[in-house]
Amino acid sequence: MGEDDPAVARILRCSDHYEVLQLLPAPQHAVFVDVKQVRRRYKELAIQVHPDKSKSSGMLVQRLMDAEAAFKRLSEAYECLVDEASQRKYLSTVRTGRAPHARAPPQHKRPPPPPPTGPSVYPRKRKKPPQQNERKPPPPPFPPPQREPRRQRTPEEIWCAFQEEEERLASEEFHAKGFERTYAASSSSQRAGGTETGNENSSSMDVEMQETILNSGLDEKARRWATWRQSPKTPAEETTENAEASSSASGVKSSANHKIDPVDARTPTAVELICCLLCQRKFPTHDALGRHNAFSKLHAANLQQQQQQQQQQEQQQQETTPIS
């Protein structure tokens, strides 16, 4: 913060909660404001005028007290406007000019009229004696329970509760738009647009995709990676291999730079490939594959879809097979 913080000075000059949060241009135009907008404005201003920011910058005691007063004023405005019932009640007071932070002009009371000096014009009425039949209401058996006054939260408690609420809303939004929602949308679109011919095409495409993945040289890549990890190359060998690659690309053969690749000269190492063909995923161990088959929602959904396709194919074969 600088010497004169404009945000702190502005908040201390405000006369109502709407002006503190910069929601409306003037009190006479006050209308109901959405709670999301109140939370957004409170978050922006609380970061600017938080007292911890003043403490870290080493400000004077008076300026630190002004920052704490502005933060307290901001917290009161947020706590009043974030609740719909409280905001509507405060809005009615603002529109009638009876806001708690607005100063109303003093009203002078009229003096009472002087007592009459002459004789009374109207005759006096005699009081009727109390009737014995009238019964007084019985006293209440127990006094009504008195509610303890609610303790007002401190500005720091309001700020901590606001941060916890922000984290909870962000977590709910992430779970609502996470991987399960994406997978459900893709599977629903496949079910909506899939017919009998579409199911046959999708099954054939799945088989072709699985064969393509298996025929893409995974064993060779795994073998090369294992041999490279077992024996790292020296800088001289890397320089020689780079020279050979450049000469073969240009079509020029050089006998001086020709050298047998040490990786190709070694015996191949057998590497077992552990994967789930149904979900098209690789796993490092058999235990990981077993956990995938037992607990994965994606694997269960793919397995159910495959069983449904097989049942549909069997029904189609039975319908097309002539009855002898």
Which domains can be identified in the chain, with CATH numbers? 6-95 (1.10.287.110), 194-231+267-324 (no CATH), 233-265 (no CATH)
8 Å CB contact between 90 and 80: yes
8 Å CB contact between 19 and 101: no
Per-residue model confidence (pLDDT) at position 308: 92
**pLDDT of the chain along its 324 residues, tens only?**
445 678 888 888 888 888 888 887 554 567 888 888 888 988 888 888 888 876 665 567 778 888 888 889 999 988 988 888 888 888 888 877 755 554 444 455 566 766 666 555 566 667 766 666 666 777 767 666 666 666 778 888 888 888 888 888 888 887 777 655 444 444 445 555 555 555 555 566 677 777 777 667 777 777 888 887 776 555 555 566 666 655 554 554 444 444 445 444 455 556 678 888 888 888 888 888 888 888 888 889 889 999 999 999 998 888 887 665
CA distance 54 to 160: 18
Q: In the numeric block, which tokens belong to residue 25?
A: 């241009």
DSSP state of 40: H
8 Å CB contact between 289 and 274: yes
CA distance 81 to 32: 9
State the sign of the Cα–Cα–Cα–Cα dihedral 217, 221, 227, 230.
negative
